[in-house]
Amino acid sequence: MATLPIVQYEEKILETVEANPVVVVIGETGSGKSTQLSQMLLRRGFSKIAVTQPRRVAAVTVARRVAQELDVRLGEEVGYAIRFEDRTSPTTRIKYLTDGVLLRESLANPELNEYDVIILDEAHERSLNTDILMGLMKRLVKLRSSNLKVLITSATLDGDKVSKFFADCPVLSIPGKLYPVEILYSKERPPNYLESCLKTALDIHTREPEGDILIFMTGQDDIEKLVSKLEDKVRALEEGSCMDAIIFPLHGSLPPELQVRVFSPPPPNCRRIIVATNIAETSLTVDGVVYVIDSGYVKQRQYNPSSGMYSLDVVQISKVQANQRAGRAGRTRPGKCYRLYPSRLFQDEFLDVTVPEIQRSSLAGSVLYLKSLDLPDIDILKFDFLDPPSSESLQDALKQLYLIDAIDENGAITSIGRKMAELPLEPSLSRTLIEANNYGCITEALTVAAMLSAETALLPGQRQSKIEKKRKHPMPNLPDGSGLGDHIQLLQIYECWDRNDYDIGWCKDNGLQVRGMLFVRDVRKQLSQIMQKIAKGPLDIRAHGNGDEFRRDYRNLRKALCVGYANQLAERKMHHNGYRTLNFQAQVVQVHPSSVLTADDLGKFPDYVVYHELVATPKPFMRNVCSVDMRWTTTVMNKLKTLDVYKLSGGINHAEEESERSLPDLPKKDVQVAGAVNDSESRIQAARERFLARKANK
């Protein structure tokens, strides 16, 4: 292996680290930050080094690589930990972990005493958890000034900004050895970027000298389509007319054995064509790339705090991202980057930098962590963020937490909230589990939570991709949720598998992803262990499908879901099969077509449902829906009436509180929220009246 640029700076880096509690290291992608820094620090005698990665795939592949370089077994001196998978041991000295896992560790051990070095790697990705960790590290270095070193590393990050954030800490820039990359722009945006990628790749393959091609696409579906088209075309090329080619997909949901494949050297006289998501932009480096094709797009999940709605949008990348992509072509020799967009568009329309995730995510989970850390004087609305989220999205998080009893009306964390924070789940599912334990249906709730947490699609047709459909899974005889909805169907499917002794063949026969189902089983086991710890005693876990007196209609489970999804309730509009959400901004939504929830004999959908997710695709749909009973919703309705979001932030000072109480009207800036409350109040009132009227009619 040629020596990596960073290795030449070992002395300088270590000296700086020894003299300073926080150091920022900036270096080109591929310069060796992720794989080498930890090893240098280990050589220097530090005893345990944590390296965070925003992406699970990166944590796993980098750990594997470092274990190889040190010639040790993965999971011993070098290990990794990602959600639901821990491959470390007491002997582990370099631990790669996702930023989410480190955040979670800081709950159990706020000082993170186990580590004497913490590296926040890939900070330029600006993931939500890394941003929060940066805020926490700022406190931690003061607390542990004598025995903790923090390194923030990044390929492109604005070093001065981070340095300022950490009291003007030093910034080390590792000069990268980048060869010139020729940038070729398209005249126009192609009408079909997939076809355009295909054509460009084939042109390069048939005309240009050797060197691998890296293509940046937006997501798994498009990657699979392009891979299959490329395979067909390459096969159709006349033998001997050009060199051979192998095509690799590269994205986050690829099975691990396929992920590592791209890192092994290609056969001689063979060109590799790698079709990747933005994962190959900075977190993974594949050597040998000389040609880059940049579609100019990325798929980004955005959360809209005013509607509680997620959208997965294909958006234009930022200039920083475009330059990162181009840089991948010049690592080993001069390269070429084909930008499938005009230069004018790049100049005038591309954002300079990517919007940090903290400004486009739901913050309920993060706010719950921060609240449960018991930091003194913490006013969530004023937490020290590198780039603060909007107050609207913080308020949205506080409201949700209040509705599910995680914080009280003054914003203080409750005992329920503390328990919830221990579960590595979204707040809605943690809340459901805790409630289910009181209702004697924890067995079922664990299954539902595990099924929903599996990252891979389990059911055939769940991902609406044409390729999937073409594979023609035999239409399976799977349960249908008994008319109650998707959560119940997921439960029933797992119960069936359980009755079939977790048989792999059964999964295959029914078109279920074997890997996904095995993962669910493992996740379920882990969740049940955490729940046991939280409940401080054995859980009321029974064998699946036994003994619940309310089993016929899954009443208790649905009741627990109704509590957990208190902020995700929807009411059917009169005489319609459309729904209106009951959170602050009433949204008109539909049940997603993939749902198994069905209309009754009269063609009507249930009056009240909870949903796992609101998605705009592009119309607003509720995904994973479960029917609930109006009577279970009254507690939430009452809470919605009394909610005061300013008290919830938990940092309000008493003078303000007093003046607010004595004022008949809220100050100007509060008017909007107050209006929203009133609006929802009137809806709640109307709902109650309808309910009472119906009851009187019975």
Residue that has been written with the tokens 């880096």 in this structure = 13
Only segment of 15-23, 32-40, 313-321, 454-462 that touches ligand CDP (CB under 6 A): 32-40
Facing residues of 22 across strands?
Answer: 150
* Binder of ligand CDP out of 13, 24, 34, 316 (CB under 6 A): 34
Nearer to ligand CDP, 1 or 655 (CB): 1
Element (H, E) at 11: helix 10-19
* Binder of ligand CDP out of 25, 33, 123, 512 (CB under 6 A): 33
Nearest CA to 356 out of 378, 396, 385, 394 is that of 385
- Between CA 148 and CA 150 the distance in angstroms is 7
- Between CA 169 and CA 161 the distance in angstroms is 10
Nearer to Mg ion, 34 or 567 (CB): 34
Please tell me whether residue 422 adopts helix, strand or coil conformation.
Answer: helix
Burial of 269 (0-12, 13-18, 19+ CB in 10 A): exposed
Nearer to Mg ion, 34 or 92 (CB): 34
What is the closest distance, in whole angstroms, from the C-beta atom of residue 55 to ligand CDP in the complex? 12
- Between CA 432 and CA 267 the distance in angstroms is 52
Q: Are 338 and 294 in contact (CB under 8 A)?
A: yes
Q: Is 30 in the site for ligand CDP (CB under 6 A)?
A: yes
Q: Is 27 in the site for ligand CDP (CB under 6 A)?
A: yes
Selection from Mg ion, ligand CDP, none that 689 binds (CB < 5 to 8 A by kind) is none
Selection from Mg ion, ligand CDP, none that 429 binds (CB < 5 to 8 A by kind) is none
Amino acid sitting at position 599: A
Q: Is 417 in the site for ligand CDP (CB under 6 A)?
A: no
Only segment of 34-42, 142-150, 230-238, 478-486 that touches Mg ion (CB under 5 A): 34-42
What is the closest distance, in whole angstroms, from the C-beta atom of residue 29 to ligand CDP in the complex? 4
What is the closest distance, in whole angstroms, from the C-beta atom of residue 319 to Mg ion in the complex? 20
- DSSP percent split of the chain into helix, strand, coil, nearest 5: 45, 15, 35
Nearer to Mg ion, 24 or 630 (CB): 24
Q: Is 308 in the site for ligand CDP (CB under 6 A)?
A: no
Q: Is 29 in the site for ligand CDP (CB under 6 A)?
A: yes
* Binder of Mg ion out of 6, 13, 31, 34 (CB under 5 A): 34
- Letters for 53-82 (x = contact with ligand CDP by CB under 6 A, - = none) are --------xx--x-----------------
Only segment of 33-41, 182-190, 215-223, 619-627 that touches ligand CDP (CB under 6 A): 33-41
Q: How many Cβ atoms are within 10 Å of 636's Cβ, its own excluded?
A: 21
What is the closest distance, in whole angstroms, from the C-beta atom of residue 80 to Mg ion in the complex? 14
Task: Name the pairing type of β-strands 608-616 and 569-572.
Answer: antiparallel
Selection from ligand CDP, Mg ion, none that 27 binds (CB < 5 to 8 A by kind) is ligand CDP
Q: Give the chain's end-to-end CA distance (angstroms, integer).
A: 80
Task: Name 236's Cβ contacts closer than 8 Å, sequence gap at least 6.
Answer: none
What is the closest distance, in whole angstroms, from the C-beta atom of residue 564 to ligand CDP in the complex? 39
Only segment of 28-36, 123-131, 450-458, 532-540 that touches Mg ion (CB under 5 A): 28-36
What is the closest distance, in whole angstroms, from the C-beta atom of residue 148 to Mg ion in the complex? 22
Q: What is the phi-psi region of residue 390: left when phi exceeds 0, alpha when psi lies from -120 to 50, beta otherwise?
A: beta
Q: Is the dihedral of CA 337, 339, 342, 343 positive or negative?
A: negative
What is the closest distance, in whole angstroms, from the C-beta atom of residue 510 to ligand CDP in the complex? 35
- Between CA 655 and CA 660 the distance in angstroms is 8
Amino acid sitting at position 150: V
Nearer to Mg ion, 32 or 305 (CB): 32
Written as six digits, the tokens of 395 are: 């308020």
Selection from ligand CDP, Mg ion, none that 417 binds (CB < 5 to 8 A by kind) is none
* Binder of ligand CDP out of 35, 316, 430, 627 (CB under 6 A): 35
DSSP state of 358: G
Residue count, binding to ligand CDP (CB under 6 A): 16
Q: How many Cβ atoms are within 10 Å of 355's Cβ, its own excluded?
A: 14
Only segment of 25-33, 438-446, 556-564, 688-696 that touches ligand CDP (CB under 6 A): 25-33
What is the closest distance, in whole angstroms, from the C-beta atom of residue 31 to Mg ion in the complex? 9
- Between CA 595 and CA 438 the distance in angstroms is 28
Nearer to Mg ion, 29 or 359 (CB): 29
Amino acid sitting at position 152: I
Only segment of 27-35, 195-203, 223-231, 380-388 that touches ligand CDP (CB under 6 A): 27-35
Nearest CA to 223 out of 255, 254, 200 is that of 254
CA–CA distances in Å: residue 588 to residues 192, 258, 464, 616: 33, 42, 23, 11
Q: Is 156 in the site for ligand CDP (CB under 6 A)?
A: no
Question: What is the side-by-side order of every strand in the sheet holding 117-120?
Answer: 85-87, 78-82, 94-98, 49-53, 117-120, 149-154, 22-27, 171-174
What is the closest distance, in whole angstroms, from the C-beta atom of residue 260 to ligand CDP in the complex? 7
Q: Is 4 in the site for ligand CDP (CB under 6 A)?
A: yes
Written as six digits, the tokens of 15 are: 């000296």
Q: Is 218 in the site for Mg ion (CB under 5 A)?
A: no
Written as six digits, the tokens of 64 are: 């594997």
What is the closest distance, in whole angstroms, from the C-beta atom of residue 90 to ligand CDP in the complex? 25
What is the closest distance, in whole angstroms, from the C-beta atom of residue 157 to Mg ion in the complex? 12
What is the closest distance, in whole angstroms, from the C-beta atom of residue 61 to ligand CDP in the complex? 4
* Binder of ligand CDP out of 15, 111, 203, 287 (CB under 6 A): 287
Q: Is the peptide bond before 618 cis (omega within 30 degrees of 0)?
A: yes
Nearer to ligand CDP, 4 or 652 (CB): 4
Which positions from 259 through 278 interact with ligand CDP, judged by CB under 6 A? 263
- Between CA 236 and CA 265 the distance in angstroms is 25
What is the closest distance, in whole angstroms, from the C-beta atom of residue 4 to ligand CDP in the complex? 5
Residue count, binding to Mg ion (CB under 5 A): 1
Question: What is the Cα Rg of the chain in Å?
Answer: 27
CA–CA distances in Å: residue 319 to residues 186, 353, 404: 16, 6, 41
Q: Where does this chain bind ligand CDP (CB under 6 A)?
A: 4, 27, 29-36, 61-62, 65, 263, 285, 287
Q: Where does this chain bind Mg ion (CB under 5 A)?
A: 34
